[in-house]
Amino acid sequence: MKMIYQRSGVMYFLIAAFWLIVTTNGQYTKQQECKPPPNEVCEYWWYVSTRMSMEYQYQHLKWNEQQHQFYNISNIPVNVVTLDGFQRMVMTINDTVPGPPLIVYEGQRVIIRLHNHLLSDTVTIHWHGLHQRGTPWMDGVGYVSQCPIGAGEIYVYNFTASPKGTYWYHSHMGAQRTNGLYGAFVIKERPKPGASEPPEERIMAVGDWTHDRSEEVYKKMMSTNYYNSSKSPDNAIIDAVPWDSALINGRGRYYDKKTGLWSKAPLEKFEVEQNKKYRFRVINVGTMYQLRVSVDDHKLSVMATDGFDIKPWEVQSFIINPGERYDFMLTANQKVDNYWIRVKSIQVGEEYKRNYALAILHYKGSGVHDEPTTQEQDCVRDGCKVINCPFKYYKSDENTECITIDELENANAADVPPEYIQDDSMEHFLNFGFPESDGQSPGAVNGKKFKFPAVDPLIQWSPNCARKECGPSKTCYCQHELILPYNKTVQIVMTNVGNGAGLSHPIHMHGHQFYVMKMGYANQNKTTGIVSNYYLQNNTDIYCSTAQCNDPAWANSTWRHGHVPDMNKYPPRKDTLMIPTGGYAVVRIRANNPGWWFMHCHIEMHLLAGMALMINEAPNELLKITRPTDLPKCENLVKLTWNITAASTTQATPLAESSQGENGDDWKDATIIVAVIAGVVLIILIVFIVYTCCCRRTKGKESQSHEMR
């Protein structure tokens, strides 16, 4: 009876608490930022651990989403990681998904003490988009820039926050990122005397979410036909990975196909005041899906991508790929009400219409508990503009205009790309895909599936890709390296062609923001928007000598040495760029940041499949940078200094007569040391015994003398 009273007595309170969670502004956007300059150091303590979603951590009591209550409770559920309402194990930083946002100022020193509380997994943290100039060992890629942090270990990240912009952080070990190890990282411009107050900001971390752990999803995708693939509007494949739901700042709802019901998990809310402007910083932290972002009844003024400002475009929506960031300005110029923020997949087909996530744009003064009733803009009727399509055209009857990346312009006219001078520049072609060879289709770059080195290349490096297994029509498994000499202009043509094409790839380059000079797309039907066969209708600007296209080149030889026509004179800068299936992108950098930089597809499953390489930039200059001597070192154990054969022989061999080389001397030295220590201990023991005996005799004589008196 007492238990019934306790449960019913807290029912109303818990429902109220639940609605408070549902309708309160997302705390992720209201975190305290680091103090601005003159403060120059921002320090944090983080711990990485696992948690169960939909569970109260301290009571270990499951949250019942149908009744919105715990079965037994002594506190409100303020520490529940809700996600989409489905229970699964997640990886967290400081018990949250996303992890705590880092908000600092440009040029500040960031110090993060990371304690690995995982039971058995190693971990690293990559600071996505930061150049790490002068500190390449802080880039956070396991076995490329650092040794992984073992279970129970502490590692200190120490680097300068630069450049300003919208970034994020995430694990760079295995599939940990898509199990919850990620968070926002905002570097703000340093305050200027007399400058006007910037608009308020909101952080929006979006991404698809799976109910299975990412390792299991990967194995099912690669080893079986467990999942069905879907298509984008241009007929490209969007991979065979399931859509269970999507999250906005760690919150969302999933649709149960068996019951036909949505979960009742809380949604993220962004509060605004009428007639004010707000800067939204959007990050795609997801596993693999391209997401189209819009706000009902509001135009979006897109003003930055991957941390760098662009000339603003007013659009209905934009498409954001895993790893990318887009900033937009929103003017709260509608009536006081609640409006849906929509984040949806670009998949086509009736069965995918529920593949979206929602958040609430809440005007201050509107109903706190009211869910919006607004409708998405009708593009067929009104016409829509969309930034960052992975293709040139939607089908004509959708009345939707695509604005491609190479149509955007850098907001800073002085920030021009490095000039291509023939004797002081170089051009590289990199083909990303799943090329088919001998019945295998690995994720690869130029036919080379990436193999992580066992030794940090900053310490020791021995390339192994120059082998007979690699070639124009072959695939191989090796540590793929691209060497860039110091201070050269480097033009990279990233392609997605050949028999391994069919899926688009968001390619992320560490250590740089490159200039996007030109984009090329597959031959698409302007009316239907369809590319009927990506292998046969690859962009004809690219020449392939084999079906795999492991050695792409310009079809027109006059385009070589930087003479590509129709390049953007004021190109935007990015670090993550979608390479359209059947197409290509031309980017440029100045090789002036010595280090080992990872370059890879940011679809988690494609990276795990091997679609990556390492850039060895300015190796001679890198030797001049002093590496901290106390950084951990990792390497293979390939040779024991102790002779196992000699030690395990059945017939004992006198040590002096054994052929152990240097190891024999080691054993002799050890024996001598042990003998000396034993001798010293024996002498001390003898002295102690003698001293004790003498003391006893002296006391005995004194006692006898006293009695005689």
pLDDT digits (tens, 9 = 90+) for 113-132: 999 999 999 999 999 999 99
- Decide if 59 is inside a domain: no
Least confident of 241-245, 323-327, 661-665: 661-665
Q: What percent of the chain has pLDDT over 90?
A: 68
Does residue 33 carry a pLDDT above 90?
Answer: no
Q: What sign results for the dihedral spanned by CA atoms 308, 311, 312, 313?
A: negative
**Cα dist. 225→169, 218, 287, 439, 534 in Å?**
32, 12, 19, 15, 21
Flag whether 647 is in a domain: no
What is the model's pLDDT at position 306? 99
Q: What is the pLDDT of residue 66?
A: 46
Percent of the chain exceeding pLDDT 70 equals 83
Q: Taking residues 685-708, what's their average pLDDT?
A: 61
Nearest of 230, 363, 200 to residue 297 by alpha carbon: 363
- pLDDT for residue 400 is more than 50: yes
**pLDDT at residue 618 above 80?**
yes
pLDDT in tens, 452-504: 988 878 777 666 777 678 888 889 999 999 999 999 999 999 999 999 998 99
pLDDT at 11 (0 to 100)? 33
pLDDT for 665 equals 45
Q: Which domain holds residue 178?
A: 26-53+88-196
- Residue 26's pLDDT is 54
- State how many domains the chain has: 3
Name the least confident of 31-40, 176-185, 508-517: 31-40
Do 487 and 570 lie in one domain? The reply is yes
Tell me what pLDDT residue 537 has. Answer: 77
- The CA–CA distances, whole Å, from 357 to 250, 441, 515, 540 equal 11, 33, 32, 38
Selected residue with higher pLDDT from 681 and 377: 377
Residue 32 CA to residue 17 CA, distance in Å, equals: 24
491 in a structural domain:
yes
Contact 486, 616 (CB under 8 A): no
Read off the pLDDT band of 641 (50, 70, 90): low
Instruction: Look at residue 699 in the predicted model and tell me its pLDDT.
Output: 55
**Which of 557, 588, 623 is at the close of a domain?**
623
Kindly indicate the confidence band of residue 47, based on its pLDDT and cuts at 50, 70 and 90: very high
CA atoms of 297 and 274, how far apart (whole Å): 14
More confident residue, 242 or 156: 156
Q: Is residue 568 part of a domain?
A: yes
Residue type, 462: S
Lowest mean pLDDT among 66-80, 264-278, 441-455: 66-80
Whether the per-residue pLDDT at 69 is higher than 70: the answer is no
pLDDT of residue 462: 67
Task: Find the Cα–Cα–Cα–Cα dihedral 188, 194, 196, 198, rounded to 10°.
Answer: 10
Average the pLDDT over each of 201-215, 302-316, 640-654 and give the range with the smallest value: 640-654
pLDDT greater at residue 547 or residue 649 = 547
Residues 371 and 484 in one domain: no
Q: Enter the tokens of residue 566.
A: 């129709």
Residue 141 has pLDDT above 80, yes or no: yes
pLDDT value, residue 75: 42
Question: Looking at residue 322, which CATH number applies to its domain?
Answer: 2.60.40.420
121, part of any domain: yes
Domain match, 364 and 429 both: no
Residues 151 and 299 occupy one common structural domain: no
The pLDDT, as a whole number, for residue 675 is 65
Of residues 196 and 578, the one with the higher pLDDT is 578
For residue 160, what pLDDT band results from cuts at 50, 70 and 90? very high
Classify residue 684: in a domain, yes or no.
no
pLDDT at 634: 84
Given 623, 643, 674, which residue is the final one in a domain? Answer: 623
Instruction: Name residue 13's amino acid.
Output: F
Tell me: pLDDT of 6 over 60.
no
More confident call, 641 vs 603:
603
Domain final residue pick, 578, 603, 623? 623
- pLDDT attached to residue 80: 85
Residue 422 pLDDT? 87
Same domain, 274 and 181: no
Closest CA to 655 of 396, 663, 435: 663
* 518 plus 561 within the same structural domain: yes
Is 288 found in the same domain as 164?
A: no
Q: Where are the beta strands (DSSP E) in 139-290?
A: 154-160, 165-171, 182-188, 200-209, 245-248, 255-256, 261-262, 269-272, 277-284
Residue 560 shares a structural domain with residue 470: yes
- pLDDT tens column, 413-448: 999 999 999 889 999 999 999 998 776 788 999 999
pLDDT at residue 646 above 90?
A: no
Burial class (CB in 10 A: 0-12, 13-18, 19+), 192: exposed
Considering the domain architecture, whether residues 223 and 360 belong to the same structural domain is answered as yes
pLDDT at 320 over 50: yes
Rounded Cα gap, residues 704 and 461, in angstroms: 81
pLDDT for residue 74 is more than 50: no
| Most confidently modeled range among 221-225, 259-263, 296-300, 680-684 | 296-300
Tell whether the model's pLDDT for residue 657 goes beyond 50. no
For residue 3, the model assigns a pLDDT of 34
Q: Are residues 221 and 139 in the same domain?
A: no
CA distance linking residue 569 with residue 517, whole number of Å:
8
Is 589 a residue whose pLDDT tops 90? Answer: yes
Least confidently predicted of 65-74, 516-525, 667-676:
65-74
Average pLDDT, stretch 293-309?
A: 99
Q: Is residue 329 one of the residues assigned to a domain?
A: yes
Q: Is the Cβ–Cβ distance between 594 and 486 less than 8 Å?
A: yes
Do residues 186 and 228 both lie within one domain?
A: no
Confidence of residue 229 (pLDDT cuts 50, 70, 90): confident
Higher pLDDT: 537 or 114? It is: 114
Q: What pLDDT, on a 0 to 100 scale, did the predictor assign at position 463?
A: 67
Task: Mark whether 178 and 205 lie in a shared domain.
Answer: no
pLDDT of residue 642: 61
In a domain, 278, yes or no: yes
Instruction: State residue 420's pLDDT score.
Output: 97
